[in-house]
Amino acid sequence: MLHLTLVAALFPGPASLHGPLISPTRELYRPACVAGACAGSRRAARAANHAPVPQPWGPNGHAITGWAAAMTLPEAMPAFFRGAAAQLAYLNYDPDRWRERRFPEMDRASAWEHYIDLEVVPPEAFQAEDRFAYLRALEATELAEPARDAGLLPFRILELVQRLTKEFSLWRKASDPAERPWIEERIVNDAGILGHYVADAANPQHTTVHHNGWADGYANPQGFTTERTFHRRFETDFVKAHITLDDVLPRLTPGTSEIRDARAAILGLIRDSHAQVPRLYQLEREFGFAADRAAPQTRAFAAERLAASARMLRDLWWSAWLRSAAIG
Ligand SMILES: [Zn+2]
């Protein structure tokens, strides 16, 4: 706590994150199912659940993740990076700011990188060498469109971790003082974008077919909500109204951990999030997630998921820096 109090004093963060922010409503990544293609089979039921819904974590949850991760970095992290906390927090939401349906080529190129529906992915697919081999592995399943129906989230995170590691190594070796600031800008920008996807991975809704109410075509013996507003109510409305940086910072473990196997750590976070799907739905049934209601249990749940994302993000940044010393 002493450590967190100290870093909070050094990096107080935006006053707005100590209370609710006003955020715009936006559309989510998942594309609308084409009329007539969303009824009947289990596959079609999955497609129906990919209808447009409001958006992930919302600006508040993303900014909180970026601030919390940056504020708890070790002092041995390069000073330019530790000094970029506000920028890293801003960037955490950027991939959602880029969404623009009027530019479909750009929009669809990255639309499916924000989630992974674990129920439909054979575990061995995660051993694929890269995202292309992963997609080839999914072609053996019944998924109509593997990238859309399963999602690309773990590979997106891993790709950015590796890029960040390489960029840190370039910075270490840079001999031209004119180039160093350019490399630093590249590092901060990519580290911020990495943070977006780590935050997504910590939200159980981004790891399941039940991303916006319990999915059609799946047994629902506990009577979980099927409302197609649940995604927005949890991660945007509820977080904006009830969760602040002060709720999340004390939940971060004080020590930074070095991650030696980034792929395993990323999958671990995703699986931990996925394991919380039933709990999320039970809390929704018992207390509800919405701007106008909160219980200690629902606040603790959301704060803990945001802390999990900040913890992982901080450790991935730190580990990329450490590992960069060993690569050419
Ligand atoms: Zn996202």
Dump the DSSP string for 45-58: HHHHTTS--B-SSH
How confident is residue 57, by pLDDT bands cut at 50, 70 and 90? low
Asked, for residue 196, whether it belongs to a domain, the answer is yes
pLDDT at residue number 53? 33
pTM: 0.85
Domain count within the chain: 1
Nearest to 90 by CA among 5, 196, 208: 196
Instruction: Look up the CATH number of the domain holding residue 152.
Output: 1.10.575
Asked, for residue 314, whether it belongs to a domain, the answer is yes
Report whether pLDDT(79) > 90. yes
Asked, for residue 25, whether it belongs to a domain, the answer is no
- 180-202 and 262-275 are packed helices; what angle lies between their axes, rounded to 10 degrees? 30
How confident is residue 58, by pLDDT bands cut at 50, 70 and 90? low
3-state SS class at 213? strand
Domain range spanning residue 216? 2-14+56-326
What is the whole-number distance in angstroms between the Cα of residue 31 and the centre of ligand 1? 14
What is the whole-number distance in angstroms between the Cα of residue 197 and the centre of ligand 1? 6
* Contact (CB, 8 A) for 309 and 201: yes
What is the whole-number distance in angstroms between the Cα of residue 236 and the centre of ligand 1? 12
Indicate the average pLDDT of the chain.
Answer: 86
Asked, for residue 23, whether it belongs to a domain, the answer is no
pLDDT at residue number 254? 78
What is the whole-number distance in angstroms between the Cα of residue 6 and the centre of ligand 1? 31
Q: If you search the block for the tokens 């919302």, which residue do you land on?
A: 58
What is the whole-number distance in angstroms between the Cα of residue 4 and the centre of ligand 1? 27
Q: Which residue has the higher pLDDT, 275 or 17?
A: 275
What is the whole-number distance in angstroms between the Cα of residue 264 and the centre of ligand 1? 21
Asked, for residue 115, whether it belongs to a domain, the answer is yes
Largest CA distance in the chain: 64
Nearest to 237 by CA among 46, 17, 60, 31: 60
